[in-house]
Structure 1
Amino acid sequence: MVHTTTENKARTLPQYVAALAAAGGAFAAGTLLGWTSPAQTEIQKGTAYDFDVSEDQYSWVSSAMTLGAACVCIPIGFLINFIGRKWTMLLLVLPFTIGWAMLIWASNLGMMYASRFLLGIAGGAFCVTAPMYTGEIAQKNIRGTLGSFFQLMITIGILFVYAIGAGLNVFWMSVVCGILPLIFGVIFFFMPESPTYLVSKNRTEGAIKSIQWLRGTEYNYDAELEELNQTDREIKENKVNVFSALSRPVTLKALGISLGLMFFQQLCGINAVIFYSNQIFEDAQTGIEPTLSAILVGVMQVVATFVSTLVVDKLGRRILLLASGVVMALSTTAIGVYFYLQDQDASSVSDLGWLPVASLCIFIIMFSIGYGPVPWLMMGELFATDIKGFAGSIAGTSNWVLAFLVTKTFTNLNAWLGNGGTFWLFAAITVIGVVFVFFAVPETKGKSLNEIQAELAGNRHTAIVASAPLAEK
């Protein structure tokens, strides 16, 4: 977390290294998210395990992960503040490894459910801890870029498992995925703890060492350390229990923004678009195999998310969210038109195969630039230090609960509204999301976390006044 405008001889490379190391957990979580797609055919054919798995049972195998993630988000918020960001992430290597081992050698359906639930606990905990860690170690001028590494590595993880799934059977694909958390643990062991956490535990020497590791030994850490101490003193002098802190107007406002972003991220239609991607490519008669179409979607996600990391600190969070939302709404509307016409008369869309393919590609790209990475990035920016763990956990929980509900009710929505109507519903929700972002979401680009708190508490003028004393240090 950068709380100071002092940029004297600060190195950025170590901050990139630490952020990428933390994002290694996101890479492992991405393989967990993507595993169900390449594994589905072999498992349902009965060749992957010694027991049968029906289509409905496999949907529970897929969604058990989201339930595990939803259950862990709030407890992990307390653990983060108790043992620290670094050791929390290292501890998560254990459930990750056990979960993959259970999935690799599952002897019955219950063991598969349990393994996916346990893996969801590990993945969901990373989704809370890694953005917080990155937000606290990064200087404000690169915090957006480093924060976007989280979503970037998730998409790379998904693409990775799609790619190895095209050449490996389920057993060996799972073995490779199970090794990744161990590699993460070895690398991340050598990274520093968050200076913010160390100051909160009165470990000043440790905080200085952490800042020097991240900024370089020539960096004058006095102003940054003083501001960290000042913030910590203010928190302790006004210390209240979690629920009192949660009821502060500034926290409620930050929580409302974060929950809103998570809501619109999940209900914009991303799961539906990916679910129908194979059918869209087939209808367009592209000649692309389903496996390759999944890999193509994964490549688009990775490239677009990478672009987002380059521009998020230049263009800002709001513009990425607004542009992303508008274009996604147009894309899902177009896909809805295609499926509606197809349901009315399949021959009427025989020459329109390009429409859903183009719309799908544009949707994936724009989601990966805006609504994919930015909500997770802002979750690490909006909350005060004393409530960040718990409030961030609530936001993370809501995201996974919504993911579960969308996944499990998607088939029912299609039956009720039709394919076209379902996509139009997602488009309408996305339009509401654009309005929400325009009126409710503040710009956090280039602002210290203290300045963000000041703006949430009052207005832009308040944030400017709050930052003035920092500039004088």
Structure 2
Amino acid sequence: MFKSGTHRQVFATVAASMSIFISGMWLGWPSSVGEKFAKHQTDVEVTYDELSWIVCLMDLGNFISPVFAGYMMDTLGRKLSIVVLGPLFIVSWLLTLYVPSIWALYGARLMAGIGKGMSYTVVPVFLGEIAGVKIRGALGSVFTIQLSSGFLFEVIVGPFLTYRTLNKVSAVMPVLFFLMFLWMPESPYYLLKKGREAKAAKCLQWYRCDSEITSELHQMDVNVQKEMENQATFYELFTNRKNFKALMVVVTACIAQRAGGISCLLAYSPLFLPEPAPIIGKFEYIMIFATMLVVVNFIGLALVDKVGRKPLLIFSEVSSGLITFTFGVYYFLKDHAGLTSFTWLPYLCHFSFAIALAIGVGFIPVVFLGEMFPVNVRSHCSAIASITMALASFVSNKIFLVISRTYGYYTMFWGFTVVNFICAYFAYRYAVETTGKTFQEIQDILEESVKNDDRQKSKAKQNDEVKTICCMKQL
């Protein structure tokens, strides 16, 4: 069936990341059914206040599940922690079909959020551990392509189907995911961590489609033994400067991804995009926006292992900052100078933001997450990253309308600009390049970068002491 190890790794990546596709479907679901709720075309009567809770409960579920998921994947394994997402998502969709009540919708969205948080925690680690060095970045970017594709699916299909038909079609996807991923082998890294060398060798042979894996398996085992010398606790993340630096790089990238504007653009575009829309309708532009998130991710997939993670991340964050700044200028002039023309500008910004996000910051945090941390703390870092994204998304979504209605849309867009520029500077200053590097090489690079930071601080301190002495002599 599979002609090479690359084909097997790609299939495993697609199968595992289908859980992210389902999460993307749940992200796009409110956009598809919101109008149906308003027109009373559903099994449940929903007010606007209840609809807002339906939307936000997914972020809440996403917030509470990562720590549990991190513990689960270290205890039960990466594979089983992903497999259980199938029944979880199946039940969430069945609730929308067979329990016609607002509380069932609350429960469904909460379960969807729990599944999303678990997916964001476990899947990046699994993908980073099964992928070969040369294609690890490309496989990691599939994660975000699946999320955008799920959102696009709901946005495009939803308007043409009834409420129940849409939910029935959506319920098929977790069944397919469960059947596809159930047959995937476990991560060799996890098996080595548990001391199951023979099983790890068998799984690695499957993923590489090669019987000659002795050297790679030995290197994996050396890495695992070295990394497991330290206790796997959250405390280890903050006391080990190398791990802490990597964590801060990932966390700031996650903040840029979710608090840099995308969460609010996905949720509130119909509210802030001006009328009339140029050439085509407003919702057609939203479909184009979702399409670009998918299409440009493929470009990022092609570039990430050639251009590098760090350059793409910085370019993406700076571009996003410039676009949200332009957004803000338009709405500032509209509110304070009575601007009535240039209604095409926010649509151009809307379209451009999808490109800027998808080319880098939309997927690179996931790539970093799967390759920058030693195996003893990888699950903890993944949990923190998932919580960070959930919290950033929840906060930005909750405050967007309040601040925008009080102080104007430009206030929030300029806030996004500040987030993007600060995160871009942080990436420029502290991120390390991981393209084409083994896990051990990445750890060595991080170790050396920490030593360089120490040398720079020491040099700066010496210069300050010299300046102080000179000033005292002059006095």
TM-score by length of 2: 0.90
Q: Residues 434-449 of structure 1: matches in 2 within 5 Å? A: 434-449=424-439
Aligned residues: 449
Between 1:246-255 and 1:164-173, the stretch displaced more is 246-255
What residue in structure 1 maps to residue 408 of structure 2?
418
Partner of 1:245: 236
Q: Is the 8 A contact 2:53 2:106 kept in 1?
A: yes
Partners of 1:243 and 1:301 lie apart in 2 by: 34
Does structure 2 conserve the Cα–Cα contact (< 8 Å) formed by 1:281 and 1:293?
A: no
2:176 matched to 1:186?
A: no
Q: What is the distance in 2 between the residues matched to 1:433 and 1:232?
A: 31
**Structure 1 residues 111, 279: closer, same or farther in 2, change over 3 A?**
closer
CA apart distance, 1:278: 3.3
Is 1:255 aligned to residue 247 of structure 2?
yes
Q: Distance in 2 between matches of 1:294 and 1:358?
A: 12
Is 2:21 the counterpart of 1:30? no
Instruction: Pick one of 340, 349, 357 that aligns with 2:332.
Output: 340
CA-CA distance at 1:273 after TM superposition: 3.0
- Map 1:456-471 to 2 at 5 A: 456-459=446-449
Which residue matches 1:226? Answer: 218
- Once the two structures are TM-superposed, the CA of residue 173 in structure 1 deviates from its matched residue by 1.0
Residue in 2 aligned with 1:199?
Answer: 192
Contact kept, 8 Å, 2:254 with 2:389, in 1: the verdict is yes
Of the structure 1 ranges 282-291 and 66-75, higher mean CA displacement relative to structure 2 is found in 282-291
State the one-letter code of the partner of 1:73. P
Higher mean C-alpha displacement, 187-196 vs 263-272? 263-272
Aligned counterpart, 1:126: 119
Alpha-carbon separation, structure 2, partners of 1:303 and 1:201: 40
Per-residue deviation, 1:108: 2.3
Match of 1:469 in 2: none
Residue 383 of structure 1 aligns to a residue whose secondary structure is: coil
SS at match of 1:349: coil
Counterparts of 1:376 and 1:115, CA distance in 2 = 26
1:162 maps to what in 2?
155
**How far is the alpha carbon of 1:241 from its aligned partner?**
4.7
In structure 2, do the counterparts of structure 1 residues 378 and 55 end up closer, same or farther at CA, with 3 Å as the change threshold?
same
Distance 2:353 2:315 in 1: 11
On the 8 A contact 2:41/2:163 being kept in 1, the answer is no
Kept in 1: contact 2:60–2:394 (CA 8 A): yes
Q: CA deviation at 1:232?
A: 2.5
Output aligned runs, 1:5-84, within 5 Å: 11-51=5-45, 53-84=46-77
The one-letter code sitting in structure 2 at the alignment partner of 1:35 is W
1:207, CA displacement in angstroms?
A: 1.3
CA deviations on 1:128-160 (whole Å, 9 max, x unpaired) are 111111100111111000000000011111111
Name which one, 1 or 2, has greater alpha-carbon Rg. Answer: 2
TM-superposition CA deviations, 1:374-393 (whole Å, max 9, x none): 11221111211011111210
Alignment counterpart, residue 329 of structure 1, candidates 296, 321, 324: 321
Shift of 1:287: 4.6
Distance 1:33 1:50 in 2: 19
Determine the structure 1 residue equivalent to 2:357: 367
1:314 and 2:320 correspond: no
Q: CA deviation at 1:400?
A: 0.5
User: Is the 2:288–2:351 contact (alpha carbons within 8 Å) kept by the matching residues of 1?
Assistant: no
CA displacement at 1:105 relative to structure 2: 2.8
Deviation at 1:102?
1.2
Structure 2 residue aligned with 1:106: 99
Match of 1:151 among 144, 155, 171: 144
Residue 466 of structure 2 is matched in structure 1 by: none
**Aligned counterpart, 2:368:** 378
| Mapped partners of 1:444, 1:36: distance in 2 | 37
In 2, are the aligned partners of 1:334 and 1:359 still within 8 Å (CA)? yes
Mapped partners of 2:10, 2:423: distance in 1: 31
- Identify the residue that residue 393 of structure 2 maps to in structure 1: 403
Alpha-carbon distance in structure 1 between the residues aligned to 2:384 and 2:235? 15
Q: Tell me, yes or no, if the aligned pair for 1:278 and 1:293 is still in contact at 8 Å.
A: no
Give the drift of 1:282: 5.0
Q: Per the alignment, do residues 241 and 389 of structure 1 end up closer, same or farther by CA in structure 2, a change over 3 Å counting?
A: closer
Q: What one-letter code is carried by the residue in structure 1 that aligns with 2:7?
A: L
CA distance in 2, matches of 1:158, 1:50: 23
How many angstroms does 1:275 deviate by?
A: 4.1
289, 292, 298: which one aligns with 2:290: 298
Deviations 1:90-143 (A, max 9, x none): 111111111111122333222211111011111210111111111001111110
Contact 1:38 1:291 in 2 (8 A): no
Contact 2:234 2:380 in 1 (8 A): no
Per-residue CA distance 1:54-86 (angstroms, 9 max, x = gap): 222211101101110110001100110111111
Give, in whole Å, the separation in 1 of the partners of 2:101 and 2:184.
39
Report what 2:131 is aligned to: 138
CA offset digits 1:308-330 (Å, max 9, x no partner): 11111111111111111121111
**Preserved CA contact (<8 Å) 2:67 2:384:** yes
**CA distance in 2: counterparts of 1:241 and 1:77, whole angstroms:** 11
| CA distance in 2 between partners of 1:290 and 1:172 (Å) | 25
CA distance in 2, matches of 1:258, 1:239: 21
| Percent identity of paired positions between Structure 1 and Structure 2 | 29
Query: Which one of 65, 73, 88 corresponds to residue 95 of structure 1?
Result: 88
SS in 2 for 1:191: coil
Q: Secondary structure at the match of 2:434?
A: coil
Q: CA 1:86–1:138 in 2, change beyond 3 Å: closer, same or farther?
A: same
Give the whole-Å Cα distance in 2 for the aligned partners of 1:223 and 1:311.
29
The structure-2 alpha-carbon separation of the partners of 1:426 and 1:243, relative to structure 1 and needing over 3 Å to count, comes to: closer
Distance 2:98 2:40 in 1: 15
Decide whether the 8 Å contact of 1:263 with 1:399 is kept in 2. yes
Please tell me whether the aligned partners of residues 9 and 130 of structure 2 are also in contact (alpha carbons under 8 angstroms).
yes
**Cα distance in 2 between the residues matched to 1:243 and 1:422:** 34
Determine if contact 1:280/1:357 at 8 Å carries over to the other structure: no
SS at match of 2:205: helix
RMSD of aligned residue pairs (Cα, Å): 2.0
